């Protein structure tokens, strides 16, 4: 049965200031196959096998078009400047007055806030256009990046379960998240930022907590990374790390950020608190704990478009770094 939505005033497709969200077309099959046929992407999805064949991408797109015509589900390409970045969709559950949301982004486009922007836009569209009371999502327990996306969009965890993940070949634990309000009402749906407001200083400035680490290799070199294009102070060199989300400890935030930025895993016991930076940044005041780490799993890779360099402590002054990082250099040099 086709559901008549013509009486609704919401736009026919979700709108985002930074992305184009449009129905999938047959011409998208090649890009969908190229982006999704990646173990790091497909292992987090429930119904896709690995390897993911081109023919399956073609038949899936055809199926999404039939679902849209029937009014049971809507899937959209995430596109920017004519380039497909990933996909997002909602499945309408009329009897439950609910919708299930799912999404993925190609690995080359991770860390740019794309999923967050798409989820916000689709949530607003779904609550305005469908007769629903809630939207929920199921996320693999180890998919920290997606969990963070949902938190920024105003979702809360409401349960856990076990689901069969085809690519992993078995049943895996998943977490269930839900929201009953569109982003504007939830008050938490903002694009990914790099700082976390913790409190207000006596001068009325926001106290901003971020966390960083000096990764030290066997040769005594420290890993530095450039800030990617599109971010504040792009091109400057910094220690890997990022914001502390609400409810996170600094150690948990650092482990998550290093997984997202560099693709490495760190045991909390391998993080040693070393020093901190306290710096006035104009609109706020930055507090940045710096940890030392000499052991991790995996090889650091630039997953967010940054440039990486292993630098001897004696050579760090040659690298253009943010003012807040500069006082940390002599301390590291005296240690190493």
Same domain, 47 and 117: yes
Same domain, 311 and 238: yes
Same domain, 178 and 213: no
With respect to residue 12, please indicate whether it lies within any of the assigned structural domains: no
Q: Residue 292 belongs to a domain with what CATH number?
A: 3.90.79.10
pTM of the model: 0.55
Which has the closest alpha carbon to 245: 314, 283, 193? Answer: 193
With respect to residue 175, please indicate whether it lies within any of the assigned structural domains: yes
With respect to residue 2, please indicate whether it lies within any of the assigned structural domains: no
For residue 289, the SS3 value is: strand
Residue 119 CA to residue 254 CA, distance in Å, equals 24
Which has the closest alpha carbon to 114: 5, 65, 166, 41? Answer: 41
Our count of domains for the chain comes to 2
Which has the closest alpha carbon to 147: 207, 139, 183, 63? Answer: 139
- Looking at residue 193, its pLDDT comes to 39
Domain C-terminal end among 186, 213, 247: 186
Same domain, 162 and 79: yes
Give Cβ neighbours of residue 120 (< 8 Å, ≥ 6 apart).
Answer: 16, 153, 183, 189, 191
Residue 92 CA to residue 70 CA, distance in Å, equals 11
Same domain, 148 and 39: yes
Same domain, 170 and 65: yes
Same domain, 128 and 211: no
Q: Residue 91 belongs to a domain with what CATH number?
A: 3.40.630.30
Domain C-terminal end among 151, 186, 221: 186
Same domain, 178 and 210: no
Residue 201 CA to residue 310 CA, distance in Å, equals 36
Give me the tens of pLDDT residue by residue for the chain, a chain 336 residues long: 333 333 333 346 687 777 899 999 999 999 999 999 999 999 999 889 999 999 999 999 999 999 999 999 999 999 998 999 999 999 999 888 999 999 999 999 988 889 999 999 999 999 999 999 999 999 998 888 899 889 888 999 999 899 888 888 888 999 999 999 887 544 333 333 344 444 544 445 677 889 999 999 999 999 999 987 766 677 899 999 988 887 778 899 899 999 999 999 999 889 999 998 888 776 678 889 999 999 999 999 998 888 999 999 999 989 999 888 888 889 898 887
Q: Can you give the residue range of the structural domain that contains 156?
A: 20-186
- Looking at residue 4, its pLDDT comes to 38
Task: State the CB neighbour count (10 A cutoff) for residue 162.
Answer: 11
Same domain, 163 and 213: no
Domain C-terminal end among 147, 163, 186: 186
Q: Please answer whether residues 107 and 56 qualify as being in contact, where contact means their C-beta atoms are separated by less than 8 angstroms.
A: no
Q: Which helix (H) or strand (E) holds 105?
A: strand 98-105
Q: Is the peptide bond before 224 cis (omega within 30 degrees of 0)?
A: no
Q: Which helix (H) or strand (E) holds 284?
A: strand 284-293
With respect to residue 13, please indicate whether it lies within any of the assigned structural domains: no
The string of DSSP letters for 18-80 reads S-EEEE--GGGHHHHHHHHSSHHHHTT-SS--SS--HHHHHHHHHHHHHHHHHTSEEEEEEEE
């Amino acid at each position: 049965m086709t559901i008549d939505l013509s009486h609704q005033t919401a736009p026919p497709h979700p709108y985002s200031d930074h992305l184009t969200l449009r129905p999938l077309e047959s011409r998208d099959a090649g890009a969908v196959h190229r982006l999704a046929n990646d173990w790091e992407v497909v292992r987090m999805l429930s119904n896709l096998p690995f390897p993911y064949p081109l023919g399956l991408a073609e038949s899936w797109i055809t199926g999404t078009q039939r679902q849209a015509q029937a009014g049971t589900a809507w899937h959209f390409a995430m596109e920017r400047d004519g380039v497909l970045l990933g996909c997002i969709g909602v499945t309408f559950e009329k009897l439950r007055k609910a919708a299930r949301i799912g999404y993925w982004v190609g690995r080359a486009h991770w860390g740019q806030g794309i999923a967050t922007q798409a989820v916000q836009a689709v949530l607003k569209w779904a609550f305005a256009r469908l007769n629903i009371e809630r939207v929920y999502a199921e996320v693999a327990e180890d998919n920290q990046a997606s969990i963070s996306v949902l938190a920024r969009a105003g979702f809360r965890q409401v349960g856990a379960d076990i689901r069969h993940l085809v690519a992993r070949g078995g049943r895996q634990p998943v977490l269930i998240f839900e929201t009953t309000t569109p982003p504007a009402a939830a008050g938490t749906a903002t694009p990914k930022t790099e700082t976390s407001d913790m409190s207000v200083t006596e001068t009325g400035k926001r106290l901003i907590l971020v966390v960083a680490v000096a990764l030290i290799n066997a040769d005594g070199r420290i890993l530095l990374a450039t800030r990617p294009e599109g971010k504040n102070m792009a091109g400057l060199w910094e220690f890997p790390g990022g914001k502390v989300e609400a409810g996170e400890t600094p150690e948990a935030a650092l482990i998550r950020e290093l997984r997202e930025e560099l693709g490495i895993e760190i045991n909390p016991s391998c993080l040693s608190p070393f020093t901190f930076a306290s710096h006035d940044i104009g609109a706020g005041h930055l507090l940045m704990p710096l940890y030392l780490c000499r052991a991790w799993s995996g090889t650091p890779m630039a997953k967010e478009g940054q440039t990486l360099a292993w630098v001897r402590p004696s050579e760090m002054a040659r690298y253009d770094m943010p003012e807040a990082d500069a006082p940390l250099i002599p301390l590291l040099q005296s240690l190493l």
